[in-house]
Amino acid sequence: MISSSDILNGKILIVDDKEANVGLLEGMLRVAGYASVESTTDPNAVCELHRKNRYGLILLDLQMPGMDGFQVMEGLKKIEEDGYLPVLVVTAQPDKKLRALKAGAKDFVSKPFDLAEVLARVHNMLEVRLLHLETKKLYDKLVAEHQRLIELSAQPGAMVGVKKDERLVTPWFRSLRLRLPWLQLNLLTAFIAAGVIGLFQETIDRLLILTMFLPVLAGQSGNTGSQALAVTLRGVILGELDLIKEKALVMKEALLGLLNGALVGLVAAFCMYVVAAVKHMPNALMLSVVVFLAMISSCVISGALGAVMPLILKKLGADPVIASSIYLTTATNVASMGLLLGLATLLVD
């Protein structure tokens, strides 16, 4: 919103080869409250002055020796790349008004000066100029936001090894070269998770029912970590995180993991009890307790890791957008499976 103060503080340049006209216009404007009024009698200096000061309004005389107002406007067009010239033409020749408007001037004021007319046209011109600048700033902001959204839309692909510079028309051999390293890394991390299961093979052989709940536990803890990861990445990309906020974020996501894990864990534990009871297993209650404790613990770990993983990678100089999801998936799988099988080994006879 443009205020009266904004208009009165707008930068104004008066250009006229006659000192008397300059003095008269300056006096009118200063008495009316305009605080930033400059002037020159040298038309050759106008472009450099505008390049330096970016005036909100230039009162420009058309008839000047050496360089007339039309030539000055041609020079100003090279500075104002968007084509908007904040020029109010001052002329005593009515036949040149139309030509001046076609040359880029936005309005005109006639000589001899009428005080009310000059002040009204100056006020309107400055208001329009300030509105134009605000609109341009908003447009630039929208363009920047659109570009940021495009970058964000590329993140899911980047997280699985599909780079931003890969397109539908990218040759298959280049796509293979871009994606294969991440798939190889993902394979390695999958072997780590498989190795954890192998450590508890005896428990699995004894309590085969646990295999039904391994993907449930891994899926819930993985989603918990992904939610925390998404919030953290947004903060990293937007530059919203400092050291204090980082610590608070990790604590918050761990707490959310605890609460969500407990609520989801109750449902999962009940399901485990029902399945085990139907199969007439004597340790049904303890199996449900194991599922409940494993769900809580794995969700706490996943939430904390989802928040801390991109922060660690950023500090190490790695791209948290590309690398976080692979490391987080491995960590949540190892934690959830290891906790379920480990607790079962310790607590279930």
- Tell me the pLDDT tens digit for each residue of 276-295: 888 888 888 999 999 999 99
CB 104 within 8 A of CB 95: no
87 beta partners: 58
pTM of the full structure: 0.50
Q: Which residues of the chain, if any, have pLDDT below 50?
A: 153-157, 159-163
pLDDT of res. 214: 83
Domains of the chain, CATH where assigned: 4-151 (3.40.50.2300), 172-347 (1.10.357.20)
Sequential DSSP letters for 106-148: -EEEESSP-HHHHHHHHHHHHHHHHHHHHHHHHHHHHHHHHHH
- Dig out the tokens for 61 from the structure: 């005389």
User: b/e string for 145-161 if b means 16 or more Cβ within 10 A?
Assistant: eeeeeeeeebbeebbeb
Kind plus residue range of the DSSP H or E element containing 58: strand 57-61
CB 300 within 8 A of CB 259: no
CB 281 within 8 A of CB 209: yes
61 beta partners: 90
pLDDT of res. 104: 83
pLDDT of res. 162: 47
pLDDT of res. 167: 58
pLDDT of res. 42: 92
pLDDT of res. 38: 92
Cα separation, 231 vs 235, in Å, equals 6
Cα separation, 13 vs 30, in Å, equals 12
